[in-house]
Amino acid sequence: MIIITTHKGADFDAMASLVAATLIYPGARPVLPTSINGNLKTFLSIHKDLFNFYSPSDITLDHVKKLVVVDTHSWDRLEGMDKLKDRKNLDIVVWDHHTEGDIEASEKHLEESGATVTLLINEIKKQRTLITPIQATLFLMGLYEDTGNMTFPSTLANDAYAAGFLLDRRADLNILSTFLRQAYGKKQKDILFEMIQKAERSEVAGFSISISRMDIEGRIQNLAMVLQMYREIVNVDVAFGIFKDVERKKCMVIGRSNVDEVNIGLLMRSLGGGGHPGAGSALLHGVNPDTIEEMLMELISGNQYSSIRLSDIMSYPVVTVTEDTKIEEVAMILRDMGCTGVPVIDKDENVVGVISRRDFKKVRKTNHMQSPVKAFMSRKVVTIDHNKSAVEAAKLMIKHDIGRLPVMKDGRLIGIITRSDAMMYFYDLLPD
Ligand SMILES: [Mn+2]
């Protein structure tokens, strides 16, 4: 068995490097320490299902033949690996940008760079391995966090080239600004103060909205974060900033929404920009701020922004089983469909339970395979109404730690939504 692991108190660079290494060592198991930093915890609460991380306690160390360590090469920064320290004939590989470390490796990739993930991206580039937009986003997040958005003196040209490669692979900057805590300097403070002094709010289509307009000179970093703070301070459902760059005759529009019903990503796309439901931006050339403000108002009141409903992204028809279906048959259905659970219905088609892989842990004896589903199913079913949004579905799944929700309409089961359906929507990866 090959395992990959990283340092305790894992940050984005550590996790990004862990995921990148799984592309370089296919079949290796990524082991994420249980201690991780706050930013990463928030990110994982939503993205948990995308990565098949193991925890150190899941691994039988005796079976490990090869150990790949990323973003550190010190034994005392690893979690649960002590037993491997004195093991002979263990193949060890390290990928790290730190200079200090005591792990003796047979293969070393120790190079100066702003982030460890840069080293791994170079290798991925060399091997011409394809990466998804979500992977590109995660890698860029590691790269930006460890280089302070390319401003730390430790940043090298290699880091910038790697960032260029990731943007080319469709890394999403709106996701980045949502999960990374960013620098807040004097320029940002001055802009925020001016915005607050001039703040106006209005009610449109039942939502409180504030549109702030400012002239700026040149490029100012982290306006997205300024707008996030502005929305919270002014306490509105939706906030927009229209920043006019006087010299270059262009306007940057940034939006933030705290309500599921106003989808900033969709709205910005109709202005030629992009984003996700909570945050997004667009850059408009030669359009004056009055026109942009009118366009925003029209989009919101015209209801063209409205969130995609669950019925648009759910899967249907739903495969169900009845209370009397045999466990054996359910096992076959789960295997054939490649899913983790199915709803159980009674004679009147009411949802009375869910049977999932998790419930199979209770099935021990062979004769249990002939038992009816009702003996093992979970009777506590969390469902969601078809009128709710993908964001609400994601929140419910996180709260109850489940990967799928039956979608109901007038008490009837009409579909099922999975975590990956919700994720695809969040990243705008829906098929057209
Ligand atoms: Mn690092």
pLDDT-derived band of residue 413, with 50, 70 and 90 as boundaries?
A: very high
Which residues share a beta bridge with 242? 213, 253
CA of 117 to the centre of ligand 1 (A): 8
Euclidean distance between CA atoms 250 and 235, whole angstroms: 28
Separation of CA 297 from chain center? 30
**Exposed/middle/buried for residue 211 (C-beta within 10 Å: 0-12, 13-18, 19+):** buried
- Comparing C-alpha atoms, which of 216, 219, 270, 266 is closest to residue 238? 266
> For residue 43, is pLDDT > 70?
yes
Dump the DSSP string for 265-284. HHHHHTTT-EEETTEEEEEE
Residues forming beta bridges with residue 31, ordered by sequence position: 5, 54
Dmax over CA atoms of the chain, in Å, equals 78
Confidence tier at 305 by pLDDT (50, 70, 90) = very low
Domains in the chain: ranges and CATH: 2-179 (3.90.1640.10), 186-301 (3.10.310.30), 312-426 (3.10.580.10)
Residues in contact with 414: Cβ distance below 8 Å, sequence separation at least 6, in sequence order:
311, 314, 316, 318, 386, 407, 408
| C-alpha pair distances (Å), 163 with each of 116, 118, 125, 173 | 13, 8, 12, 11
User: Which residues are CB-neighbours of 419 under 8 A, at least 6 positions away?
Assistant: 48, 49, 394, 397, 403, 404
Per-residue pLDDT averaged across 84-91, rounded? 91
In this predicted structure, the answer to whether residue 244 has a pLDDT above a threshold of 80 is yes
User: From CA 55, how far away is CA 40, in angstroms rounded?
Assistant: 15
Cα–Cα distance, 122 to 163 (Å, whole number): 11
Q: How far is the CA of 414 from the centre of ligand 1 (A)?
A: 46
Please tell me the distance between residue 140's alpha carbon and the centre of ligand 1 in angstroms. 12
- pLDDT band of 430, cuts 50, 70, 90: low
pLDDT at residue number 315: 82
Confidence of residue 37 (pLDDT cuts 50, 70, 90): confident
Asked if residues 53 and 28 have their Cβ atoms less than 8 Å apart, the reply is no
Residue 289 CB neighbours (<10 A): 17
| Distance in angstroms (rounded) separating the CA atoms of residues 82 and 61 | 10
Distance in Å, CA 350 to ligand 1 centroid: 52
Most confident range (mean pLDDT) of 180-184, 195-199, 366-370 is 195-199
Report how far ligand 1's centroid is from the alpha carbon of 43 (Å). 17
What residues flank ion ligand 1 with Cβ within 5 A? 13, 71, 116, 146
Q: How many CB atoms sit inside 10 A of residue 246's CB?
A: 10
Give the distance (Å) from ligand 1 centre to CA of residue 142: 8
Other Cβ atoms within 10 Å of 365 Cβ, number: 7
* Residue among 341, 337, 321, 318 nearest 329 (CA): 321
Taking 90 as the threshold, does the pLDDT of residue 56 lie above it? yes
- Token digits of residue 49: 């299902």
pLDDT: which is higher, 2 or 391: 2
What share of the chain in percent tops pLDDT 70?
95
Say how many Å lie between the CA of residue 97 and the centre of ligand 1: 7
| Ligand 1: centre distance to CA 275 (Å) | 27
State residue 429's pLDDT score: 56
115 CA to middle of ligand 1, Å? 5
d(CA 432, CA 430): 6
Task: Indicate the pLDDT class of residue 431, thresholds 50, 70 and 90.
Answer: very low
Report percent pLDDT > 90 for the chain.
Answer: 50
pTM of the entire structure?
0.58
Tell how far the Cα of 21 is from the centroid of ligand 1, in angstroms. Answer: 14
Task: Return mean pLDDT, the chain.
Answer: 87
- In angstroms, what is the span from residue 159 Cα to ligand 1's centroid? 12
Question: Nearest 5°: phi and psi at 119?
Answer: -60, -40
Confidence of residue 322 (pLDDT cuts 50, 70, 90): very high
The residue ranking higher by pLDDT, 95 or 338, is: 95
d(CA 41, ligand 1 centre) in Å: 17
Q: What six digits make up the tokens of 368?
A: 């249990």
DSSP annotation string for 352-363: EEEEEHHHHTT-
Provide the pairing of β-strand 321-322 with 279-285: unpaired
